[in-house]
C-alpha cells in the first residue's frame, strides 16, 4: 500500500476495532479522517489466531481470577502494525499501551503525542498483557485516569482524540484549539448562546457589547477566577503576567461564595 500523507498516523491494535467508529465516523476526527489529515488503521489479534476457537486470551501463571491477552496473537498484531507504520510514514512508530499504570494523560501530553512520531496504540482487554510484552514491544504506557475500565479501547480513543485535535488544520478555525479550556493551562470561561434570557438568567452584558477588548478581558478573568476556585493546583508554580494578576485580584475581591 502507498505512503500516507496524513499529518497524524495511528495504528490501533484492538479486539474491538468497530468501537473506534466513534472516532472515524463522527465529528471533528471523522472529518479529519475523511480529509486524510488523520490516518487510522486497525489490527485485530483475533485475525492471527490459528486454532479452531480463534483464541485470543490465555491463563495467568500463578493462578488468580481473569485472563490475559494471548501473547503470540497480540505480538503478531503489534509487529504488523509497527511494520505498516514504518512503510506508511517512513518513521519508526511510538508504541503506546493504555493501562492504569501509565503516565497520566493531560493537555501537555496530548500536545507531545500530536507533535511526535506515528503511533501504534495497543488496547488491552481482560486483565491486561504479559509484562514481557510490555518490556519488549511497548515504548510508553499511558493512563487516562485513576480508574479501571473493561478495556483499553475507550482510553485509546480519548488519547487519539485529544492528540488529533491539536494537529494543525484538524480543528475548524485553529484558534479554537488555542482558546480551548486547558489551553495555556487555565480552565475555560463560561459560554453563552441564544436565547438572551433563560429562566430569567441573562447573558453577561459585556458579551453583548461588541467591545472585543473588554470581552477578551472578561473571558480571561473568568478563566482565572474559575481556575482559582475549582483547580487552584493549576495556578501553583505558574507565573501570571501583570494583566492576569490584576484580573484575578479583581475576581477574588468581587467573589461572593
Q: Tell me which residues touch ligand 4FD (CB under 6 A).
A: 98-100, 124, 127-128, 143-145, 147-149, 151-152, 155
Cβ(156)–Cβ(12) below 8 Å: yes
- Is 128 annotated to bind a ligand? Reply is no
Residues listed for the chain: 257
- 215 known ligand binder: no
Q: Which of 41, 100, 117, 141 is catalytic?
A: 100
Is 25 an annotated catalytic residue?
no
Residue 146 assigned ligand-binding role = yes
145 assigned to a ligand binding site: yes
Q: Can 52 be counted among the known catalytic residues?
A: no
Catalytic residue among 41, 47, 72, 127: 127
In angstroms, give the least distance from the CB of 126 to ligand 4FD. Answer: 8
The runs of H, that is alpha helices, within the chain are: 21-24, 27-34, 71-89, 107-115, 131-137, 153-164, 175-179, 206-209, 212-230, 242-254
Pull the grid cell for residue 185.
493551562
Q: Is position 148 annotated in a ligand binding site?
A: yes
Give the separation between CA 52 and CA 235, rounded to whole angstroms.
57
Closer CB to ligand 4FD, residue 88 or residue 129?
129
Residue 257 is a catalytic residue: no
- Tell me the C-alpha distance between 129 and 110, whole Å: 24
Q: Is 127 a catalytic residue?
A: yes
Nearer residue to ligand 4FD within complex by CB, 47 or 127: 127
Rounded least distance, CB 190 to ligand 4FD, Å:
29
152 is in an annotated binding site: no
C-alpha dist (Å) from residue 55 to 52, 62, 204 = 8, 20, 60
Candidate list 180, 188, 217, 231, residue with the active-site label: 180
Asked whether 168 and 208 are in contact (CB, 8 A), the reply is no
Compute the least distance from the CB of residue 101 to ligand 4FD, in Å: 7
Q: 88 or 110, CB closer to ligand 4FD?
A: 110
Residue 127 vs 161, nearer CB to ligand 4FD: 127
Block residue for cell numbers 453583548: 208
Q: What are phi and psi of 10, to 5 degrees?
A: -130, 125
Question: Minimum Å distance from CB 162 to ligand 4FD?
Answer: 12
* Distance in angstroms (rounded) separating the CA atoms of residues 170 and 168: 6
Q: Is 80 helix (H, G, I), strand (E, B) or coil?
A: helix
Q: Known binding site: residues?
A: 124, 144-149
Q: Known binding site for S-adenosyl-L-methionine: residues?
A: 124, 144-149
Active site (catalytic) residues: 100, 127, 165, 180
Amino acid at each position: 500500500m502507498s505512503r500516507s500523507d496524513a499529518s497524524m498516523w495511528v495504528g490501533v491494535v484492538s479486539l474491538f476495532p468497530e468501537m473506534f467508529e466513534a472516532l472515524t465516523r463522527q465529528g471533528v476526527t471523522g472529518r479529519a479522517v475523511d480529509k486524510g489529515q488523520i490516518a487510522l488503521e486497525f489490527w485485530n489479534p483475533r485475525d492471527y489466531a490459528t486454532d479452531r476457537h480463534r483464541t485470543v486470551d490465555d491463563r495467568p501463571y500463578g493462578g488468580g481470577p481473569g485472563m490475559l491477552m494471548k501473547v503470540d496473537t497480540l505480538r503478531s498484531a503489534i509487529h504488523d502494525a509497527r511494520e505498516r507504520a514504518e512503510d506508511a510514514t517512513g518513521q519508526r512508530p511510538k508504541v503506546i499501551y493504555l493501562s492504569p499504570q501509565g503516565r497520566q494523560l493531560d493537555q501537555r501530553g496530548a500536545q507531545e503525542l500530536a507533535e511526535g512520531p506515528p503511533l501504534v496504540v495497543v488496547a488491552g482487554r481482560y486483565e491486561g498483557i504479559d509484562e514481557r510484552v510490555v518490556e519488549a514491544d511497548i515504548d510508553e504506557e499511558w493512563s487516562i485516569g485513576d480508574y479501571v475500565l473493561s478495556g483499553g479501547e475507550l482510553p485509546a480513543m480519548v488519547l487519539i482524540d485529544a492528540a488529533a485535535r491539536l494537529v494543525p488544520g484538524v480543528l475548524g478555525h485553529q484558534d479554537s484549539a488555542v482558546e480551548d479550556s486547558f489551553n495555556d493551562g487555565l480552565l475555560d470561561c463560561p459560554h453563552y448562546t441564544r436565547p438572551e434570557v433563560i429562566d430569567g438568567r441573562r447573558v453577561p452584558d459585556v458579551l453583548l457589547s461588541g467591545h472585543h477588548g473588554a470581552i477578551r478581558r472578561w473571558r480571561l478573568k473568568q478563566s482565572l477566577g474559575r481556575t482559582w476556585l475549582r483547580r487552584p493546583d493549576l495556578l501553583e508554580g505558574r507565573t501570571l503576567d501583570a494583566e492576569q494578576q490584576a484580573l484575578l485580584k479583581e475576581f477574588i475581591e468581587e467573589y461572593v461564595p
